Amino acid sequence: MLCLYRLLLSLLLLLGLVSEKVLASVLAIDYGTEWIKASLMKPGVPFDVLLNKDSKRKIQASVGWKRNDRLFGSDALSIAARFPTDSFSSLKYLQGVPFESDITSYYTTISTADVVKTARGTAALQRSDGTEWSVEELIAMQFAYVKELAEAVAGEKVQDVIVTVPPFYTQFEKDAVVDAIEIAGLRTIALINDGTAAAVNYAMTRTFPTPEHHVVFDAGASSIRATVIAFATGASDLKTSTSKDSNQITVLGVGYDRLTGGTELNRRLRDILVADFQAKHKRDITGDKRGMAKLWKEAERVKTILSANAEASSTIESVAFDIDFRSKVTRAAFEEACSDLSQRFTAPIHEALARSGLTLNNVSSIIMTGGSSRVPMIQNAVKAAFGEDKLAWNVNADEATVLGAALHGASLSRQFKTKDIRVTDIGPFDVQISYLAEAKSQPAKPRTIHTSVFPANSKTGTRKTLTFKRKDDLSLKVEYKQTPFPGFPRELLEIDITGVSEAIANLTEMGAVEPVVKVTAALSESGFVSIPEAVAYGEIKDDSLTGKLKGLFGGGSASEQVPLNAEGSESADAFEQAGTASASSASATPSEKKAAPTGPQTIALTVKTRWPTLGPLSGSDKRKARDRLAEVEYEEKAKQRKEEARNMLESYLYRIRDLMEDTSNTESPFVKCSKNSERKAIEQKLRESFEWMHDKADEAETSQLVAKRTELEALERPIVHRYKEIEEFPRALNNSQMWNWSTRLFLTEAKQNLTAEEQGGAISKYLKEELDELETTLKDHESWLNVMVEKQKAVKMNEDPAVESSELRARAKKLEDHLHRLVRRKVPLRTKKTSSSAGTSETTSAMASSADGTPLPSDSGHDEL
């Protein structure tokens, strides 16, 4: 709680004020295998975890259908035992993975859903009615659900989002995340590795005068990840130009096990229950989807109990084959079944340290995060391997990742001013570019050359330039050097670069010596590899005396050398760039050619990208997916409106029925304000409405349900109106009489001042004509009011009023406005009557004032007073 308090207090101090005219919000989503956590950053909204509709701080990562009703969160998970092929959970496993991969095979061992292959070669899930939904669409539904929760809090549309991903995600999986974001109607700010996000949360309330190294150990449901982080405050030894108060977060290495986590523990515990069932009842339950779904749910419950107890009892009624199953599982038996996992729990930490070049002695602590970090089995394994004193519990294991992601997302938006935390992440895989070398002779077979562009641990947000001695178009392949995981392809992109011949010829004509092709490769902050641009590049020497002198003394631009590779053939020279390619001047125009340009020259080439294996969804595919989701949402909204209309009609009918049953009570307001004929008409319509509800309401349209209620309301409305008028009339009358009295009081005082002026006293603020006009308005109102009050006295309670309270208020408002106009306006200035020095009769010199109060001279020509 103290940590959370410090976090909230810190954020209140960190977030600067944003102009009220600019509304902005950033949504952070920590999408896990088992749980979804979200946080909304918006000016005026407390920085915290987003609550779901049940006021819970995390949402079950599930979506499902109960017949035709779509459900989310715990509602979707709870129906798995009844609808095992219509409840979809643990979808994170299948994000962007090939259907034939080991991960897909593993998923079928933990889920009762029917997994099918898509046309793209990925996995989709099939409902019991045969409808297929791609994983991107199902996750987009969950993102859209979170978006709806965020918009309810923000009070406006939410569009920008940052989503956490594991550090081992391939480009295929990241593409799937971004596709799901777009289908959900959101816009990706960035993807952030979950260990890095937890590090941002850790650095949020701390400074590091001396650089520190920590391991973020994230034990989740599907996997275990370890991230070695360097923390420093100010530029320190990170060689970055930053303010002295900024925190630097540098990822040095990552390690992971993709299939070891809380879900694997559940799977093994479920298998214990399966074995016990089959041993006791001699029946194979593995083919019964409902039975397996029930056992999976029970395994999760038992695992929680075993975290704090030595044994747990299990009872499931009619688990399968009408058999009631009872079992008892001990912690010892559970740990024995998972004994081979002990080294796998800690291997990611060893791997991350090895990749970072550090040892355990260099690390201050192992920061424990992730829901499965609470499992005693995992804790004991880490303690045994690294020592209990190294374990740190100084962040919220469940929420550190999403809160860190939210702060990082806000720092990427111009609408927020946050604590300066600079993040440098890395790519986990070796990325290389392959291409065919130009044949030296015609019969020779082209050789494939492989050039490493982004080795493992390369910093994200960097670019590299490859230089090719080419005169013709060329094609490149961007690929992983090794298969990232069994069943995954290596090929990422195929790049066609065209327009080379013409560009090289143009540069040669301009005087360039040995022009080359430069290709820029980029590794984005989110870890995506791309080829954003390619140019033809050449240096044109200056043969003038000035140019020769510059060359003699080393001035001017140095041409890049194109070295040979180890095989002695053409090579690609890869070097890091801080920004775009070093050759960035504009392409030469005809006029420039005539002017004999000198120095480095570039001509842009055409770059076309293709995806040979698992590329992102096409634009048309995403539009179709959005349309499918929109159709589902429209149908749900229509159904919701119909249900609301039906419920409102039904409750209204019962309310009117209760009123009608109470007609024997002659003192009830309903009886007093209604006529016998009106009650009979309502009774007849009420009877007809109940009969219609029983026979036709199920098939009725929303408009019909609304119309039925409207018909009955039309009969009740006059009665309700009379009752309300009986309540409102005294208040409206009192309001009218109050303004009569206020106006009369004002007139009395104003007339006294006018009389005093005539007797030589102070000048009156108002003219007699103005007061007479107001008095006329007052008398008209008083006269009308007296007549209408007398008429209203003769009206019975079950008769329509002689005068509406709204008319009383409108008439009183007219008198009120007249009085206010006179009181609030700027009063004209007037002079007192004076005698001239020549003994002439007294004259009055009237002076008017302008709108701003400046006196204006009168027509009499007298001096201003």
pLDDT tens digits for range 407-439: 999 998 877 878 889 999 999 999 999 999 876
CB distance 560 to 468 below 8 Å: no
Which residue is associated with the tokens 């954003």?
532
Considering only CA atoms, which of 137, 118, 69 is closest in space to residue 629?
137
More confident residue, 839 or 798: 798
Q: Are 26 and 147 in contact (CB under 8 A)?
A: no
Mean pLDDT of the region 711-715: 94
Report the pLDDT averaged over residues 483-502. Answer: 96
> pLDDT tens for residues 276-333?
999 999 999 999 999 999 999 999 999 999 988 999 999 999 999 999 999 999 999 9
pTM of the shown model: 0.79
pLDDT bucket at 382, cuts 50 / 70 / 90: very high
Starting at the edge strand found earlier in the chain, the sheet holding 26-31 runs 59-60, 35-41, 26-31, 160-165, 187-193
- Distance from C-alpha of 185 to C-alpha of 137, rounded to nearest angstrom: 12
Task: State the pLDDT confidence band at 667, using cuts at 50, 70 and 90.
Answer: confident
Query: DSSP label at 596?
Result: -
Where would I find the beta strands (DSSP E) of 262-377? Answer: 311-320, 323-330, 365-369
Q: What pLDDT score was predicted for residue 244?
A: 66
- DSSP element (H, E) containing 434: strand 431-436
CA–CA distance, 717 with 721 (Å, rounded to integer): 6
Find the mean pLDDT for residues 660-678.
86
Assess whether pLDDT exceeds 60 at residue 540: yes
Residues 6+ apart with CB under 8 A from 536: 499, 500, 503, 504, 506, 507, 515, 516, 517, 518, 602, 603, 605
278: which 2 tokens?
Answer: 């089959």
User: What mean pLDDT is predicted for residues 816-836?
Assistant: 72
pLDDT at res. 753:
87
Alpha carbons 21 and 11: distance in angstroms, whole number? 22
pLDDT tens across 148-194, in order?
999 999 999 999 999 999 999 999 999 999 999 999 999 999 999 99
* Cβ-proximal residues to 544 (8 Å cutoff; 6+ apart), any chain: none
Helix orientation angle between 619-661 and 702-758, rounded to the nearest 10 degrees: 70
pLDDT higher than threshold 60 for residue 400: yes
pLDDT of residue 563: 35
Mean pLDDT of 632-654: 93
CA distance 553 to 572: 30
Helix axes 676-696, 619-661, angle to 10 degrees: 140
Please check whether residue 506 is in contact with residue 601, taking contact to mean a CB–CB distance below 8 angstroms: no
Of 675, 664, 534, 674, nearest to 608 by C-alpha is 534
pLDDT over 80 at 851, yes or no: no
Residue 593 has pLDDT above 60, yes or no: no
pLDDT of residue 6: 41
Tell which wins on pLDDT, 645 or 444: 645
pLDDT band of 580, cuts 50, 70, 90: very low
Does residue 208 register a pLDDT over 90? yes
For residues 212 and 358, what is the distance between their CA atoms, to the nearest angstrom?
A: 12
DSSP calls for 602-653 = EEE-EEEEE-SSSPPPPHHHHHHHHHHHHHHHHHHHHHHHHHHHHHHHHHHH
pLDDT digits (tens, 9 = 90+) for 58-97: 999 999 999 889 999 999 999 999 999 999 999 999 999 9
Report the alpha-carbon distance of residue 375 to residue 265 in Å, rounded: 10
Q: Which of 702, 712, 700 is nearest to 653 (CA)?
A: 712
Closest by CA position to 346, among listed 306, 399, 397, 385: 385
Give the model's pLDDT for residue 583: 35
Measured CA to CA, the distance from residue 331 to residue 314 in angstroms comes to: 13
Residue of 520 and 668 predicted with greater confidence:
520
Alpha helices in 193-288 (DSSP H): 194-203, 262-281
Please, where are the H alpha helices in 368-499?
A: 376-386, 400-411
Give the pLDDT band of residue 833 (cuts 50, 70, 90).
Answer: low
CA distance 799 to 801: 6
Cα angle 11, 12, 17 (rounded to 5 degrees) comes to: 110
Question: Which residue did the predictor score with more confidence, 547 or 11?
Answer: 547
For the cut 80, the answer to whether the pLDDT of residue 260 exceeds it is yes
Q: pLDDT exceeding 70 applies to what percent of the chain?
A: 85
Strand 187-193 to 160-165 pairing: parallel
Does residue 564 surpass a pLDDT of 70?
no
Q: Is the pLDDT of residue 56 over 60?
A: yes
Residue 4's pLDDT is what?
41
Ranges for all domains in the chain classified under CATH 3.30.420.40: 2-262+342-426
From-to residues of CATH 2.60.34.10 in the chain? 430-547+564-617
What's residue 662's pLDDT? 78
Three-class DSSP category at 516: strand
> Which of 537 and 756 is assigned the larger pLDDT?
537
Highest mean predicted confidence (pLDDT) among 8-22, 593-607, 705-719: 705-719
Give residue 227's pLDDT. 98
**Residue 562: pLDDT above 50?**
no
- The answer to whether the CB of 193 falls within 8 A of the CB of 220 is no
Report whether pLDDT(587) > 90: no
- Evaluate if residue 442 carries a pLDDT over 90: no
Taking a C-beta distance cutoff of 8 angstroms, is the pair 465, 577 a contact? yes
The domain made up of 430-547+564-617 has a fold known as Substrate Binding Domain Of DNAk; Chain A, domain 1 (2.60.34)
Q: 665 pLDDT exceeds 80?
A: no
Calculate the average pLDDT of the chain.
86
Could you give the percent of the chain with pLDDT greater than 90? Answer: 74
Q: What is the architecture, at CATH level 2, of domain 2-262+342-426? A: 2-Layer Sandwich (3.30)
Q: What is the pLDDT of residue 664?
A: 74
- 8 Å CB contact between 458 and 527: no
Please determine, for residue 240, whether its predicted confidence score (pLDDT) is greater than 80: no
Model confidence at 550, pLDDT cuts 50, 70, 90, reads low
State the CB neighbour count (10 A cutoff) for residue 135. 24
pLDDT at site 763: 80
Q: Grade residue 560 by pLDDT with cuts at 50, 70 and 90.
A: very low
CA distance 470 to 485: 35
The pLDDT value recorded for residue 444 is 66
